[in-house]
Amino acid sequence: MSIQYFEKENIFLLNTPKTSYIIGIFDEEQFLGHLYYGKRITNIEGIHSLARTMEPPFVPSKNDRDRSSFFDAFPFEYSSHGVGDFRESSLKMRTKDGHTATSLVYVSHVILRGKRKLEGLPATFGQEDEVETLEIICVDPVTNVRAILSYSVFSDCDAIARSVRVVNDSNQPLYMERVMSACFDLEGRDFDVLTLHGSWARERHMERKPLGHGIFGVASLRGESSHQEHPFIGLLSKNADQTSGEVYGFHFVYSGNFLAQAQRNQFGQVRVLMGIHPEEFCWKLEPGESFQAPEVISVYSDQGLGGMTRTLHDLYREHLIRSPWLHKKRPILINNWEATYFDFTSEKIVDIAKESARLGIEMLVLDDGWFGNRFDDNRALGDWQVNEEKITGGMGKLSDEIHAQGMKFGLWFEPEMISPESKLFKEHPDWAIQVPDRRPCRARNQLVLDISRKEVRDHILSQVFAVLHAAKIEYVKWDMNRPLSDLGSAALSSDRQGELMHRYVLGMYEMQERLLQEFPELLLENCSGGGGRFDPGMLYFSPQIWCSDDTDAIERLSIQEGTALLYPLSCMGAHVSVCPNHTVGRSTPFATRGMVALAGTFGYELDITKLSEEDKTAVQWQTRTYHAFNDLVREGKYYRVQSYAENHDHDCFMVTNAKADKALVFFTQVLATPNMRSRCIRLQGLKEEANYRIQIVNLDKEEQFTDTGKVVSGGILMNAGMIVERPWGDFQARLYYLEEI
């Protein structure tokens, strides 16, 4: 059994293959306390001592005069508000009288096979023989609020999925002003904290710093998980690196406003909280109603960051992504955006398709500008009818012409947005999110549709479905190009305006679910101005997400490193674009751009008709390489070897197959250094006793491989290293293929 309850000891033991999570029930009032999270334990004798309830201030039944001291130090499994615990709280409910004190105590529990769905929310899943769930029911005896704390453990990976459902069992409305999805009270250690930060075009850069006393957190109030922060926080032992040391990772399966924070208190204890950001949030719960909070994934690794990474990759591939494309090779696509922007006709698109097909590209994606009066980004969002001035004869005709080239066809949408200059806005100005009598804040000259309203969702989807039914379209890119502001819904009462942000996210999830139900074989790629909504919640709907609008190969090294820390490579939308790069103006070799993009879903973002003959030939070599190795990239185990973000010189990572008899090593030299010898790079994930032939995969030659003539043992490659010759010039890439002989 993965979950056990020891009735005599009042202990819950949750085991994954290599980790344990232990919860206890204490004192006459049945306080729920966290005891342990870490390497797997089989004998729990003496575990109670970790709660320190046998030392001052003891428990309230023995020392009620110092109840506040107990509350301010006890390791609560789900922390209380306003009753003496002055650390950050998990739940805050306001009564009609304005009181907000809440204290939850244990009442009962149930252990079940499998895992319940979370209503309206993305979440991990598994069969009854793959996952087991503990539900602990807690109640606040004064307000009659009931909280069901849910814990799911998986038989095949060292992850725990947590969520909370809050029920109003009172006879009056209650206002929930704060609901965290998970609370972790950990024993105090000298942790570092790891987060991912960024901005548009430089998303998910890793940042590590010491966790001092006080509160450190990351958050988003933008209505999306955002470019700027990421719904992840990690606690690392000081010695933790990619291969060793202790790591706790916490990841939020949600695509809207979030708060993730770590608090080190006066005693050195560390509390981690993760959930919907309480700012701009207030949810009215009528008697008998419930609220389901999103899911948090936690991972413990004693094998460094690499152990955490591979656990998350396995979990998301097997228990979160549902797409029929999950284990399939994705078609190599070309997107016309950087080729044409808004200036195109169907004839130009067909020309791109013809040349692309000749060079081995398999799908053309028509980006922004095909609908309504959309000749620039100032108009027409919300008017999802084909503009036949550009698309002569309609989308069906264009689709047929592209398929006639042997290619698939994809289409870009931005369903959540509305332009003030559009037919839709003229007919339904109240469908835009805005505050009455206040000048709305525009971004890209567009407003946001209030998709918390069913009639808005129905109208937009009816247009999208009509376009998709009228043509053969195998792929949709779903974009969202601005954050939310001016929060006001014409459909919500004054005491429910605080529900808008979360209802918006639920509406977006429902729209994507309906899209996939209508077109179950569709390949959906999510996007938000690039990587502004790259989070686990979106993976539940789309197996890949556009990683960043910045396609520069060197910028992508850090972006893709931070992304791959948490997500499988198969999730990362990555394309080859022209140089000078449209975002940073940098010029890099075509082969380097190809190798960096091969680490993701792979495609092109350029006008292929304008490439030199040399580059067109290289496209054929790159597509050949994709087909040869994508199975390994998509399904393989990921190992981070070197970080350009840390060494400012070169970048290296690798993937191995399940048997570790094949591996790809991706190496990029950023800047050349004069008068230096070759580099020695220690690899990972190989078999110690096996011998490997080392070949270079050619992205700029007709011959697929260059045999280095080297056969080296796995033990040498991992413990001593692989010699990597220094290429001549900046921004040079090498792709090595290792195969056991």
Which residues are marked as active site? 479, 549
Helix (H, G, I), strand (E, B) or coil at 22: strand
- CA distances 115 to 110, 137, 146, 290, 728, Å, are 12, 16, 20, 19, 55
Residue 375: burial class (beta carbons within 10 Å; 0-12, 13-18, 19+): middle
Question: Which residues make beta-bridge pairs with 144?
Answer: none
Nearest to 289 by CA among 151, 162, 168, 466: 168
Query: For the residues of 55-89, what is the DSSP string, one character each?
Result: STT--TTT-GGGHHHHHTTS-BSS--BSSS--SPP
Residue 308: burial class (beta carbons within 10 Å; 0-12, 13-18, 19+): buried
CA atoms within 13 A on the CB side of 644: 24
Q: Are 185 and 77 in contact (CB under 8 A)?
A: yes
Dist CA 88 CA 80 (whole Å): 9
Joined together, the tokens standing for residue 338 give: 């950087």
Nearest to 652 by CA among 595, 571, 588, 710: 595
Give the type of residue at 162: R
Dist CA 359 CA 338 (whole Å): 19
Helix (H, G, I), strand (E, B) or coil at 1: coil
Helix (H, G, I), strand (E, B) or coil at 125: coil
Cβ partners under 8 Å of residue 542, min gap 6: 323, 478, 512, 524, 525, 526
Joined together, the tokens standing for residue 525 give: 């790629």
Q: Are 651 and 642 in contact (CB under 8 A)?
A: yes
Q: Are 157 and 311 in contact (CB under 8 A)?
A: yes
For 152-205, what is the HEC assignment? Answer: EEECCCCEEEEEEEEEECCCCCEEEEEEEEEEEEECCCCCEEEEEECCCCCCCE
Label residue 591 left, alpha or beta by phi (over 0 means left) and psi (-120 to 50 means alpha). Answer: alpha
Residue 220: burial class (beta carbons within 10 Å; 0-12, 13-18, 19+): buried
Start-to-end C-alpha separation, the chain? 41
Q: Are 159 and 312 in contact (CB under 8 A)?
A: yes
Query: For the residues of 238-302, what is the DSSP string, one character each?
Result: TT--SSSB-EEEEEEE-SS-EEEEEEE-TTS-EEEEEES-STT--EEE-TT-EEE--EEEEEEES
CA atoms within 13 A on the CB side of 592: 27
Helix (H, G, I), strand (E, B) or coil at 645: helix
Dist CA 598 CA 626 (whole Å): 7
